[in-house]
Amino acid sequence: MDRREAMLRELNLYPVWVRRNPVSTEGDAPVAKSALNAVPVEQAVPVEPAARAASVEPVEQVASVEAVEPVEQVTSVEPSFVSHSGTASPLSQDAGNAIEVQAPVVDLFASDFQFAAPGEAADNSLREFQLKNSGGLLGTTDWPELQQKVQGCTECKLRAECTQPVFGTGDPHARWLFVGEAPGAEEDELCEPFVGASGRLLDNMLLAIGLQRSEVYLANVIKCRPLDDRHPHVGEIAACLPYLKRQIGLLQPAVIVALGKTAASALLDTDATIASLRGIVHDYKGIPLVVTYHPAYLLRSPLEKARAWQDLCLAVQTMDGCTG
């Protein structure tokens, strides 16, 4: 037994079948020479002794696959912050802020909620908060009064842990309202929502639909920063949500864009996933509401940026319908 045969047996690739007219190469000269004396393929026998040869049924010939004509390429209008090469657009020199169009992927967006331990949120329930503010107190407050109430709020422990409440920013008469989750460390320091990397990405998203930060209003469900930037508890959301609802009542925006699951769940009173809420124009007390991903999530999951652009297009179409 030669070395080649031993190797083939070790790999369970023996007996060897040879072609009628193999291509001869210098390295395989012995094999090519034996192939010249081989019988036709129809009657081919294994190289090893006939006593160990097993009969093999001929393999059915596979029909060749017809050439497929190339599919006509579909072009689409993309925002200026969409990047195919990974480089940032002129709107931002930060490549992380560029939206990259890629194939859709399975939505793995996890829940934004961390439920409080038993009894932790009992004193911060929405029912108790509303009882404390019965008689339409918030319903009659104007913008300056509402800001004062938020500044002095002690309905949950977040106020004692943060530097200052972040009421919101932008045009108080804006037709666009963008709602996020809660302030982060930079927002808490500067008293402005959506700053830092997520704020720059949001600014680029706004520019893509022809808007600037000064032309919209930005707010959060939670006005005070949760310690360590954790997701807010249910009781904290319940305590702060009436302030946001009063802001909406005073703003009367034409379209609301909920950024992230916390904002969508709070305003729509649902625990549905972002995937199931996207692509639909919801109704918040007569105001169209579109759900999309939070900019901070998009920075962690850049594959979802193309879907966020689709959501913005839906919001623009909705606004056009309101103004048209």
Q: Identify whether residues 37 and 156 lie together within a single domain.
A: no
Torsion on CA atoms 267, 273, 277, 283, rounded to nearest 10: -20
pLDDT band for position 322 (50/70/90)?
A: confident
pLDDT band for position 167 (50/70/90)?
A: very high
Q: Identify whether residues 41 and 126 lie together within a single domain.
A: no
Torsion on CA atoms 27, 29, 32, 36, rounded to nearest 10: 170
Q: Identify whether residues 22 and 130 lie together within a single domain.
A: no
**Structural domain harbouring 233:** 105-323
Instruction: Please give the order of strands across the beta sheet that includes 281-284.
Output: 169-170, 217-220, 176-180, 255-259, 287-292, 281-284
Q: Residue 277 domain-assigned?
A: yes
The H or E element spanning position 176 is strand 176-180
Nearest to 293 by CA among 307, 283, 276: 307
Q: Identify whether residues 123 and 238 lie together within a single domain.
A: yes
Q: Of 14, 34, 49, which one is at a domain's C-terminal end? A: 49
Q: Residue 71 domain-assigned?
A: no
Q: Identify whether residues 304 and 231 lie together within a single domain.
A: yes
CA 213 – CA 153 distance, rounded (Å): 27
Q: Identify whether residues 296 and 149 lie together within a single domain.
A: yes
CATH number of the domain that residue 248 is part of? 3.40.470.10
DSSP 212: -
Q: Residue 96 domain-assigned?
A: no
Q: How many domains does the chain have?
A: 2
Q: Is the pLDDT of residue 28 over 70?
A: no
Q: Identify whether residues 45 and 109 lie together within a single domain.
A: no
Q: Identify whether residues 44 and 163 lie together within a single domain.
A: no
Q: Is the pLDDT of residue 69 over 50?
A: no
Q: Residue 72 domain-assigned?
A: no
Which percentage of the chain shows pLDDT scores above 90? 52
Q: Identify whether residues 175 and 256 lie together within a single domain.
A: yes
Which percentage of the chain shows pLDDT scores above 70? 57
Q: Residue 176 domain-assigned?
A: yes
**Which pLDDT tens digit goes with each residue over 95-139?**
444 444 333 332 323 333 333 343 444 344 444 544 444 334 577
* Angle formed at CA 239 by CA 236 and CA 244, multiple of 5 degrees: 105
Q: Strand, coil or helix: what is 276?
A: helix
